[in-house]
Amino acid sequence: MDFKFFIPTKVLMGVGCVQNNKAELSRLGKRALLVTGRNSAKASGALDDIIAALKAEAIEWELFDQIGENPTFAAVEAGGEAARNFKPDMIIAIGGGSPLDAAKAIAVLAVNPIRAYQLYEGAFPAAPLPIAAIPLTAGTGSEVTPYSILTDDERQTKRSFSDPRLFPQVAFLDARYTRTQSREVTVNTAVDALSHAIEGYLSKRSTPVSDCLALEAIRSFAKACNALIVGEFTLADREELLYASLLGGIVIAQTGTTAVHALGYSLTYFYQVPHGRANGLLLGEYLRFNEPVVTEKVGAVLAALGLKSVNAVKELMNRLLPSDEVYTQEDLRKFVAIASEAANIVNTPRQPSREQLVQLLEHSLTCKA
């Protein structure tokens, strides 16, 4: 048995975890830049909780709340400038995957005089500022990964850069903060977590440890699946989904993602399909495509979901993610051309040709004749 496993983030989960563990913030520094979106942090209650904790610990802070969905190079460069002006010694990221990913880029730009595109060149000798992460959605798992995913308009796609120093130092997971999310957002983000678990479990880079965590994440998703279908969530349901998201993040921190993410990014970039939804539309056919080479693993995924076939996975995704989007053959080939250049495509257990990727999209999406 030969594998590596690295997860340096301290995870604190439970109701009131910010207030109960506020001393953790003092260990990171005495000046904090809070990175978030315009409204969600306040509405969720997370912003008030973190400000109260900062005041109790005599930590100075400033708010940068300019992060939108699918953050751009311009957005993180503005955040980097705000950080250089304020001179914090830590970053506190509050939000869904977009603010958390943007905060990682800002943590680099705060101490390195570079442009955002240079993040992909590894050109940042100064260590990023330490990060505390507070997720407001149960999906991306960004609070326990070294990845930052930004929108690259020049390449017309979303791109990820990573560095072990981008793992948040501490993550506070309080499911109460996810209660303000709509059913649609809750479903989309939950499917994102499921996608992480399935992709990580099937990935060529999977390990015995990541496999255990992936199956546990899938089982947790399954426990909350009825709530996702009905659209009514208890706090226990939301905790289950937040737990699944956490585990999915830990998994992809070890294994990376695969062709599902590589293809899904184009649906998001060109048609504004939410990230988790884009992944979910492709999951069933992705399992079918890989089943011949990882038959036992696909069977284990089905068992963890409590389903009997790949078709049942497709039916579940269709129920959770009803779709009326229509794509052209030109769209599909453009998506495949972009995905084929993505680094994560090589993690796919059955390496697809471009034509096979086109077929996967044809069988997953509604296409014009």
Q: Which tens digit of pLDDT belongs to each residue from 294-326?
A: 999 999 999 999 999 999 999 999 999 998 889
Return the number of other C-beta atoms located less than 10 Å from residue 3's C-beta.
11
- Mean pLDDT in the chain? 96
What domains, with CATH codes, occur in the chain?
A: 10-177 (3.40.50.1970), 182-364 (1.20.1090.10)
Collect all residues with Cβ–Cβ distance below 8 Å to 60 and sequence separation of at least 6. 30, 31, 32, 54
State the pTM of this model: 0.96
Question: What is the C-alpha separation between 270 and 265, in angstroms, rounded?
Answer: 9
Tokens of 278: 């884009």
Helix (H) or strand (E) holding 63: strand 60-64
Give tens-digit pLDDT for 166-190: 999 999 999 999 999 999 999 999 9
Collect all residues with Cβ–Cβ distance below 8 Å to 314 and sequence separation of at least 6. 284, 285
Taken in order 87, 88, 89, 92, the sign of the CA dihedral is negative
Nearest to 365 by CA among 290, 233, 252, 273: 273
Residue 37 has pLDDT above 90, yes or no: yes
To the nearest 10°, the Cα dihedral for 131, 134, 137, 142?
20
Helix, strand, coil content of the chain in percent (nearest 5): 55, 10, 30
Question: What is the C-alpha separation between 121 and 129, in angstroms, rounded?
Answer: 19
- pLDDT for the residue numbered 369: 67
Return the number of other C-beta atoms located less than 10 Å from residue 219's C-beta.
17
pLDDT confidence tier of residue 237, bands split at 50, 70 and 90: very high
Give tens-digit pLDDT for 112-126: 999 999 999 987 899
